[in-house]
Structure 1
Amino acid sequence: MNAIDGGSGGSVTPVGIVLVSHSPDLASGLRDLLTQLSAGLVPVAVAGGTDDGRLGTSYALVAGAVAEADRGAGVLVLPDLGSSVLTARLVLEDLGREDVVLVDAPFVEGAVAAAVLASTGAGLAELVATAQDARRMPKF
């Protein structure tokens, strides 16, 4: 069974999460939140900004973050907006792996929902659905 078919509680190794943002600070701050909410059980890597720390996105940073977050159970990639989607798509296309999935979900809410669920041992497919469903969660 590959990681995307994994079910809830069946995975000893957690699914990794990659946060792709134009802002290094935004990505790092969200990683800090996810680490706390998941009790440090979920590998969360960031690809924030350009290679020289400016606002933007970087192919090398995204590829490195995927490698960093990958523990063998798959990787969920969440972009913030615009060119982060394009950059992440290029990286994932070059990787050619079914267990590394780019998710169209709200950046913060999707990441929080995925990280909390990942900390329970849920599989990649369940995390993808949960991150996408975060779009429909009311704030009040």
Structure 2
Amino acid sequence: MVGIVIVSHSSKIAEGVKEVALQMAKNHPVYTAGGTADGGIGTDPVRIQEAIEAANTGDGVVVLADLGSAVMSVGLAKEMIDPALAKSVKLANAPLVEGAIAATVEASMGSPLAKVLQTAHDARNMDKVE
């Protein structure tokens, strides 16, 4: 089962996105790394590393991040984990909310890593107006 990690500068945003995603896919492994260790706004590569390791079930992990420096922190976190695991950790080029929900639902259906990642990527094209 592909794990999902939600990275945000705000712990409230990360937890809120997780809450919505789990409304759609109730018992799926979704982990968050929001904010800094002291509760501030920002990202912490160590917290991201821990979330990735917790989300790993052996089938890969899809990570979704909110802003540019979160993307850099994900990169640092990947450098800190076991290289074998790092190969199966994919950062989705997707909007945080839509991508996380789509990826979580796809992963909950038992889809492989590549399909979960593609589903997250496809959320970029979701039309919101007619």
- Fold agreement, TM-score > 0.5: yes
In the other structure, the counterpart of 1:107 is 96
Q: Determine what percentage of the aligned residue pairs are the same residue.
A: 46
**1:56 maps to 2:42:** yes
After superposing the two structures, state which structure 1 stretch, 87-96 or 14-23, moved more. Answer: 87-96
RMSD: 1.0
Q: Which amino acid aligns with 1:113?
A: A
Q: 2:21 aligns with which of 34, 37, 43?
A: 34
* Whole-angstrom CA distance in 2 between matches of 1:27 and 1:87: 15
In structure 1, stretches of 5+ residues that fail to align are 1-13
| Bigger relative contact order, structure 1 or 2 (CA pairs below 8 A, ≥6 apart) | 1
Q: 2:111 aligns with which of 118, 122, 129?
A: 122
* Whole-angstrom CA distance in 2 between matches of 1:93 and 1:105: 22
**1:98 maps to 2:84:** no
- How many residue pairs end up in the alignment? 126
* Whole-angstrom CA distance in 1 between matches of 2:54 and 2:24: 19
Partner SS, residue 42 of structure 2: coil
In the other structure, the counterpart of 1:72 is 58
* Whole-angstrom CA distance in 2 between matches of 1:94 and 1:68: 14
Please tell me whether the aligned partners of residues 49 and 80 of structure 2 are also in contact (alpha carbons under 8 angstroms).
no
**Cα deviation digits, residues 39-72 of structure 1 (max 9, x gap):** 21x2000000001010000011101111111111
**1:88 maps to 2:74:** yes
* Whole-angstrom CA distance in 2 between matches of 1:77 and 1:63: 11
TM-score scaled by structure 1?
A: 0.86
